[in-house]
A = this chain, B = another copy of it.
Amino acid sequence: MLKNKGVLFLIPNTLGGESLTDIIPQGVMERVFSLRTFAVEEVKSARRLLRKMDRSFPIDDCIFHILTKQTKESDRMDMLMHLLNGTDVGVISEAGCPGIADPGAELVSLAHSQNLKVIPLVGPSSIFMALMSSGFSGQKFTFHGYLPKERKDRIKQLRDFEMDCKRNGTTHIFMDTPFRNMNVLDDLLNELGDFTYLCIASNISLPSESIQTKTVSDWREKAYDLNKIPVIFIIGKPQ
């Protein structure tokens, strides 16, 4: 770890809320104030975050590189060059923590390949906040990312989660694109057993946050509108 190389900071973003005071530690904001070079999923949301951290952040003096799944190797190498030349770089994803169900890991990987320092900064993660609030086992859990688009495949996977949870007690966490949430909810309520426990965590960290764990049979009793809002689904065994 050479001292004159730059550090790659992983900067948490909001989960869509307006206030930072509940979700970003003061020291994290101070670290970010010292950065001028960023690798971001979306320039607009990154600029918004920086403005929120400090109204007078010199955004026009900053360099923003776009970092998504589509970013070419050569562009990632440009970002790496900043680090190798001694400039610290901050990674900002559109929401939550970079690298977890979000771009960022490719650049982190490159940094490790050059023995560069990578420092994660504390912030909100909807996956973790949902898990800790579910009441399910946090001793063994799997995050599956997005579910298959095809209904048949999705149902098979949901049933596999249910079976594995029954047999081994493993907690299964998953999500889908917000406009498919209601399809996922339909499949969960139609295809899983009455006594399977399901946690639905929506709008985490927002004023409208709701995190509830109930049996599938209890979930069926009322209609819920999860359309186009961020939702984390968890199948697990209450502890």
Chain A residues within CB distance 8 Å of chain B: 10, 19-28, 31, 97-102, 104-106, 108-113, 115, 118-125, 127-146, 170, 199, 204-205, 209, 211-214, 238-239
Contacts and interface: CB of A to CB of B under 8 A. Distances in A.
Contacts of A205: 122
Copy tally for this chain in the complex stands at: 2
Given A100-B132, A110-B135, 15 more contacts: A23-B122, A24-B25, A99-B138, A101-B138, A101-B139, A102-B138, A105-B238, A106-B239, A112-B213, A118-B211, A120-B128, A120-B129, A120-B204, A127-B128, A141-B142
A213 B109 CA distance: 8
B134 A108 contact: yes
Contacts of A145: 139-140
Given A97-B132, A140-B144, A19 B10 contact: no
A239 B138 contact: no
B100 A128 contact: yes
Q: Which one of A19, A27, A99, A138 has the highest number of Cβ atoms from chain B below 10 Å of its Cβ?
A: A138
A235 to B, nearest CB: 14
A33 B53 CA distance: 24
B99 A131 contact: yes
Contacts of A112: 135, 199, 212-214, 238
A32 B128 CA distance: 20
Contacts of A146: 139
A97 B139 contact: no
A132 B98 contact: yes
Most buried by B among A104, A124, A139, A199: A139
Given A120-B211, A125-B125, A209-B119, A105 B25 contact: no
Contacts of A22: 25, 27-28, 31, 121-122
Contacts of A108: 132-135, 239
Q: Which of A130, A132, A137, A146 has the most CB of B within 10 A?
A: A132
